[in-house]
Structure 1
């Protein structure tokens, strides 16, 4: 049985989208506004959950399955090293946002390039490896860890955040992968609440 990576790709797309929004806000001189700050705080929160779950519950599981395979083990080393290079850039951008520092545009570009390189590397190399060596139960354990970390309150932000501005086909694909109760909650309550938070708003 193949693993459904719909939520993984959707998360990656949401990270890329948020950094585009941050870059636009910086270029327009509104990086200090409450909406941008709220958008940035949610972005860093979602990325932290995503990477922590990979580091603690995904890469070790894959590492067990590829023991004795140097090339695959090196790839996993790369995944972990790339995470460690992203963290200082997040801190630097956070500080520059708070201080309205002149180097903010350069830091946002560096973060965007570094994160995008990592996401592409993961999509091109790590996801095919996971498809080969993990079972559906392995993947369910990983996604279950994320759901447990998010909780219902976190899910009420995560789900509408993922589909915020997504192309219609991507929105349908992601929501179609969610349990029916999640789709109902999102439609009736979560999206409206999410929009009222005004993440990345220009006001």
Structure 2
């Protein structure tokens, strides 16, 4: 059965968020190669990255994968894919903790850059797996109403304060096409707040710079 455009789920928010995760890990690895992991900007950039990733995965675990699991409960192959998504999330948690430990424990033999490369490999695999396999399954098995419920939970977890960081974080270094697509799905008040306040405040935090 052909799905009409009005019935299709718009994954813009998912793709731009994935792009931001990849971008931040590349910045962290570059900072490690330049021996800058102890600088305030790099530490703040890493902490924001970790916060964004953990929130994103927590909401997926609580509000997306359960919906998908229910929708494909009688389809073993698809159910196995949902379980793979959850397992890949679990694999990342100790890696993030290891980076935190390496950054805070000066006596640690672990190198933050090496650990970050491991995070980049594991997360990169997960993001590609999700984009190539899980998102098409979501498109076929869930409805826009399901996706709206998941997105609403994401917004509630972010809150106004979190959104004030999330929006300019997404747009930091984004291509003109990604920037246009992202802002197009934002409500007008969010676009206005970003333009008059949020972006300036985000720049003042100097993630990855100092």
TM-score (norm 1): 0.97
Structure 2 equivalent of residue 119 of structure 1: 127
Which is worse superposed, 141-150 or 98-107?
Answer: 98-107
Structure 2 equivalent of residue 138 of structure 1: 146
Aligned-residue CA RMSD in angstroms?
Answer: 0.9
Secondary structure (helix, strand or coil) at the match of 2:95 reads helix
Distance 2:84 2:141 in 1: 18
Number of matched pairs = 202
Structure 2 equivalent of residue 195 of structure 1: 203
- Cα offset for 1:169? 1.1
Distance 2:194 2:124 in 1: 28
Match of 1:73 among 73, 79, 101: 79
Unaligned runs of 5+ in 1: none
TM-score (norm 2): 0.94
Secondary structure (helix, strand or coil) at the match of 1:188 reads helix
Runs of at least 4 residues of structure 1 off by over 4 A?
Answer: none
Distance 2:45 2:118 in 1: 19
Match of 2:177 among 169, 180, 184: 169
- Cα offset for 1:68? 1.1
Match of 2:63 among 40, 45, 57: 57
Unaligned runs of 5+ in 2: 1-6
